[in-house]
Amino acid sequence: MSLGAPAPVCVGDYEERAREALDPNAWAYFAGGAADERTLRANREAWNALWLQPRVLRPLAHGHTRVELLGRTLAHPLLLAPVAYQRMAHPQGELGSALAASAQGAGLVLSTQSSTPMEEVARAVRDDTQRGPLWFQIYLQGDRGFDLALMRRAEAAGFEALVLTVDAPVHGARDRERRAGFRLPADVSAVHLHGAPPLPHGGELCGGLLQAATQWDDVAWLRGVTRLPLLLKGVLHADDARLALAQGVDGLIVSNHGGRTLDTALPTAWALPRIADAVGGAVPLLVDGGIRRGTDVLKAVALGARAVLIGRPYVLALAVAGAQGVAHALRLLRDELEIAMALAGCATLADARRELLFERPGSLLGAP
């Protein structure tokens, strides 16, 4: 489907069109969450529950959206989150998303479960001097030889950081997928996991799958064998943030996996300020989950995030219009962010602090 007329005017418009563009199998996978999907909905509701209290008559000349992240200056604080099996959304798959991100100066985090090889993705964008960061997300497979080889491939391909997902030792109970009878199409697979070690079995909890679950000693091992910056994705508890600092990680991504793993896990907008207080600026924080508007991005920065990641909004735009759709969705969010900054009295993102958010008497920001 082409953009056509009228063109989408917000990322939500792409979601409506994607439901028509995707078959029920793919729609259940990309749009659904775990169980009753309470966390999926709450992520969105939590950003909506935060209110901006703008300042007026502030100096806005020479304003910009630039931000520093892991030694790089980004044109804006938008990154594409790791999303698996993107060729199920559109034939261009991860390659289309990468090209769109590069064209818009956005960061890209490629999934371990990518349906396009990492080398092909990196080769297409790594020499673009205007692109954003190029990171590789990794799920440890319980075999350090296999994991080390995968990491070395990412280093050799030109990826600039590793993102270790820590909140999904097993899949969530995804009712929507089960009702749809979800299965991967024959021509789509996790190409990086061909030849991966077999899943463990035996034991009482989750059929023994947790025998290979990632633990803190695995974080220490990974930190010791890679020269790349290491971020942990999936942190919601302040104590885990402190433990991560002790392991020498370079950044944290506050995430509940888009509501796809543990249903009723708290929304990321609630967790973010508590984790920001816990780490005290020692490492950069990023956040995902429910971000659909430029005002959400501004609120996230005010709560302590250096940048944000989007997942469903871009993969649904990919389903509708390929790379063009992803680029357009990113541009829409960036335009909305700039408008929100101007109307809130923020010349730069450094001006977005918690005082920008209205706190009801007797409540904590982001909490009911």
**Residues 114/86, Cβ–Cβ less than 8 Å:** yes
Is 64 a catalytic site residue?
A: no
Show Cβ contacts of residue 328 under 8 Å, excluding neighbours closer than 6 positions: 3, 7, 8, 317, 321
Show Cβ contacts of residue 18 under 8 Å, excluding neighbours closer than 6 positions: 27, 30, 31, 316, 317, 319, 320
- Among 76, 90, 192, 257, the active-site one is 257
Please give the structure tokens belonging to residue 119: 């080398």
Q: What is the dihedral of CA 141, 144, 146, 149, to 10 degrees?
A: 130
> 129: how many CB neighbours lie within 10 A of its CB?
4
H or E stretch at 293: none
Q: Which amino acid is at 253?
A: I
DSSP-assigned states of every residue in 229-267:
-EEEEEE--HHHHHHHHHTT-SEEEE--GGGTSSTTPPP
Catalytic sites, residue numbers: 257
